[in-house]
A and B are shown apart, each in its own frame.
Chain A
């Protein structure tokens, strides 16, 4: 099953690159936005950026785990391979 998923993902390299860029690009843009509002010259800015990154990584991990399982089951159902 892991191999199947790896093959499918490797068939669409642009999609893979887009997924990575969207994840990190989005959180980086928001982290930079948050820095605009933080007081200057304090460690709070770095703490906030780090917290956002770690929070986002956790969110991506959980969300991807749930979506990928649900989506692949549905995909198998649509393709007729689940039965």
Chain B
């Protein structure tokens, strides 16, 4: 019998998050790496930009991005990029690992509702990602001599929280593809490349050609990155004001999760019919 009460469902999510925490707590090095990777991602274009722009680096950047604070601009992009990748890794890799170790099939026979197991994973991932984001951003600002305490932090937080829902829906879709194709590493590399171009880690999406820009607008991380930059650096929102941009993310958050769960369920059923769920 499946647990029906909200308490029982939240309990499943909490245990799922705790299990993931225990697993990752065994590797503290990963935590440090997660803090430093966005700084390295941002440092490459910062140093490249200084070499290219010379004395007018900030002015050249401001002409295209709307802010002279290019270090903070790139740090925000790098951190949201890593949050996106991390959500993909945690969902896709988790499903694949369970499949490889043979426990995915067992999980499906337990009374625990899979949606709450995934919700627990996503919550832990979001908490971990947010802590890493703050630490990495503050450390990066200190390294590149930028004041991190500027802009509207409340609005930036709204973008991060609201954007997390469609982001995890997207990562669930990725998980369904991983289950089907069973090639996690290749798929994460493809996702990494596509997102690095689409979500505008190094540039605002408004500089992209019209077709590429339209495609970029379909992915939630683009809106999160652009919204956070606009809130903190006053670079301008995609639809003029922040409530409109947030409304787009809310709409994505309403459509994304049911769609992702339906795709995941369809993939699982297809694999179960062919006895492919427990195989690797």
Contacts and interface: CB of A to CB of B under 8 A. Distances in A.
B60 A29 contact: no
Interface of A: 12, 14-15, 17-19, 21-22, 24-26, 28-30, 32-40, 48
Given A33-B203, A37-B60, 20 more contacts: A14-B187, A15-B185, A18-B187, A18-B190, A21-B194, A22-B192, A24-B193, A25-B192, A25-B197, A26-B193, A32-B202, A33-B45, A34-B49, A35-B207, A36-B61, A37-B48, A37-B61, A39-B53, A40-B64, A48-B52
- Which residue, A14, A19, A28, A40, has most C-beta atoms of chain B within 10 A? A14
Given A21-B193, A25-B196, A39 B56 contact: yes
A37 B57 contact: yes
B56 to A, nearest CB: 7
A52 B181 CA distance: 34
Contacts of A12: 183, 186
A76 B45 CA distance: 39
A33 B204 CA distance: 10
28 contacts: A12-B186, A14-B181, A14-B186, A14-B187, A17-B186, A18-B189, A21-B193, A22-B189, A22-B193, A25-B193, A26-B196, A28-B197, A29-B201, A30-B45, A32-B202, A32-B203, A32-B207, A34-B49, A36-B45, A36-B61, A36-B203, A37-B49, A37-B50, A37-B52, A37-B60, A37-B61, A38-B53, A39-B56
Closest 6 CB pairs of A and B: A25-B193, A33-B202, A37-B49, A33-B45, A18-B189, A14-B186
Contact of A30 (B48, B53, B185): B48
Contact of B190 (A14, A26, A30): A14
B65 interface: yes
A12 B182 CA distance: 11
Contacts of A40: 60, 63-64
Contacts of A36: 45, 49, 60-61, 64-65, 70, 202-203, 207
B44 interface: yes
A6 B190 CA distance: 21
A32 B57 CA distance: 15
Contacts of A39: 53, 56, 60
B54 to A, nearest CB: 9
Contacts of B207: 32, 35-36
